[in-house]
């Protein structure tokens, strides 16, 4: 061991970004000891120990206790270190997945608000929509005003499996068969716009959609459907699939629930040019 490879505790603290107080504490509990202690009590560290203190810092950041880290370092072997690193890699991958879903949630909420700022709630339009991946809940057939608790629980579990954070934007689906009965109150699924990794891949079909907006509190959106049904009948549109309801402005951005803004998209057959 060359003298030039030795660092005082102050120099080592600066290079490792670990405080002197912490280094002294690590020494006292037997977690990380200096390479040499002089007769005057001064601690000196070898440059190679920067690798070890770096690993300690990473393990600590990943939630390992000092006791767990000390236990590993006290009997470390290449095999045990490899096993621990692989476990920590899995934890990091999970954290990355959660952060990515959180990022997607923030982007989606921002885009919804941006889109909704200048929406005209009296205007109904037809748009072309490309296929969108969805996360679906279990199937139900229940009124919006008597929303089943188990549906919420089921959907939250599915969101958790996809590492989605609490509050991820979601909506509900009204099935085609209910739309054909002029019934806009019955829910079949909850959904979120999301590419799934751990559950069946489901999509909102590509095609033409009649799009309408209204101000309504949760569970009170059925009031807009008579207007939608009348418009479909007037224009002689053909309902091809389901209706998808999503809140573009909700409690995240508004204080008054009666001002929440919901978008309803009804899958229809391609309109004729003369309609």
The answer to whether residue 85 is domain-embedded is no
pLDDT number for residue 1: 47
pLDDT at 66 over 60: yes
Cα-based distances in Å from 133 to 152, 163, 197: 20, 16, 11
Q: How far apart are CA 2 and CA 36, in angstroms?
A: 12
Residue where a domain stops, chosen among 76, 91, 123: 76
Q: How far apart are CA 266 and CA 232, in angstroms?
A: 10
65 and 170: one domain?
no
pLDDT at 274 over 80: no
Residue where a domain stops, chosen among 50, 76, 102: 76
Q: Backbone phi, then psi, for 261, in 5-degree steps?
A: -110, 120
pLDDT tens, 139-168? Answer: 999 999 888 899 999 999 999 999 898 888
Question: What angle in degrees, to the nearest 10, is found between the helix axes of 20-28 and 9-16?
Answer: 110
Residue where a domain stops, chosen among 76, 92, 125: 76
Q: What mean pLDDT do residues 52-69 have?
A: 87
Say which range, 10-19, 37-46, 75-84, 213-222, has the weakest mean pLDDT.
75-84
pLDDT number for residue 91: 85
pLDDT number for residue 275: 52
Beta bridge partners of 134: 193, 202
Q: How far apart are CA 169 and CA 246, in angstroms?
A: 8
12 and 127: one domain?
no
**Average pLDDT taken over every residue of the chain:** 90
pLDDT tens, 241-271? Answer: 999 999 999 888 889 989 999 999 999 999 9
Q: What is the dihedral of CA 214, 217, 222, 227, to 10 degrees?
A: -20
Q: What mean pLDDT do residues 188-195 have?
A: 94
Q: How far apart are CA 24 and CA 33, in angstroms?
A: 8
Name residues whose C-beta falls within 8 Å of residue 95's C-beta, 6 or more positions apart in sequence.
none
CATH number for 134: 3.20.80.10
pLDDT number for residue 4: 60
pLDDT tens, 106-137? Answer: 998 898 888 888 888 889 999 999 999 999 99
141 and 252: one domain?
yes
245 and 150: one domain?
yes
Range of the domain at 32: 3-76
72 and 116: one domain?
no
Q: What mean pLDDT do residues 29-40 have?
A: 91
pLDDT tens, 180-189? Answer: 999 999 999 9
pLDDT number for residue 28: 93
125 and 62: one domain?
no
Q: How far apart are CA 88 and CA 192, in angstroms?
A: 30
pLDDT number for residue 198: 87
Cα-based distances in Å from 70 to 36, 59, 60, 87, 185: 19, 11, 11, 17, 60
Q: What mean pLDDT do residues 222-230 have?
A: 93
CA-closest candidate to residue 220, choices 143, 113, 117: 143
DSSP state letters, 32-95: S--SEE-TT--EEEETTHHHHHHHHHHHHHTT--HHHHHHHHHT--HHHHHHHHHHHHHHHHHH
Name residues whose C-beta falls within 8 Å of residue 14's C-beta, 6 or more positions apart in sequence.
none
119 and 71: one domain?
no
* 3-class secondary-structure state, position 4: helix
Q: Backbone phi, then psi, for 33, in 5-degree steps?
A: -100, 150
Q: What are 257's two structure tokens?
A: 């629930």
- The answer to whether 206 and 129 have CB atoms below 8 angstroms apart is yes
Confidence of residue 20 (pLDDT cuts 50, 70, 90): very high
pLDDT at 273 over 80: no
């Amino acid at each position: 061991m060359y003298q030039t490879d030795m660092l005082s505790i102050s120099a080592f603290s600066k290079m490792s970004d670990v405080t002197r107080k912490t280094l002294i504490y690590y020494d006292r509990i037997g977690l990380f000891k200096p390479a040499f202690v002089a007769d005057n009590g001064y601690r000196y560290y070898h440059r190679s120990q920067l690798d070890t203190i770096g690993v300690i810092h990473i393990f600590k950041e990943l939630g390992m206790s000092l006791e767990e880290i000390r236990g590993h370092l006290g009997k470390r072997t290449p095999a045990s270190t490899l096993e621990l690193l692989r476990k920590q890699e899995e934890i990091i991958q999970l954290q990355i997945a959660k952060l990515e879903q959180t990022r997607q949630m923030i982007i989606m909420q921002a885009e919804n608000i941006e889109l909704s700022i200048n929406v005209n709630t009296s205007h109904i339009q037809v748009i072309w929509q490309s296929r969108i991946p969805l996360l679906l809940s279990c199937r139900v057939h229940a009124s919006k005003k008597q929303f089943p608790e188990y549906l919420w629980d089921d959907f939250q579990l599915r969101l958790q499996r996809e590492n989605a954070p609490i509050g991820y934007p979601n909506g509900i689906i009204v099935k085609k068969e209910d739309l054909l009965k002029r019934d806009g109150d019955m829910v079949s699924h909850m959904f979120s716009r999301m590419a799934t990794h751990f559950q069946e891949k489901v999509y909102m079909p590509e095609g033409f959609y009649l799009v309408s907006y209204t101000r309504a509190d949760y569970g009170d959106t059925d009031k807009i459907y008579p207007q939608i049904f009348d418009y479909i009948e007037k224009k002689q549109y053909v309902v091809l699939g389901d209706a998808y309801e999503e809140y573009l402005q909700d409690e995240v951005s508004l204080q008054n629930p009666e001002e929440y803004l919901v978008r309803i998209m009804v899958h229809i057959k391609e309109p004729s040019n003369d309609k």
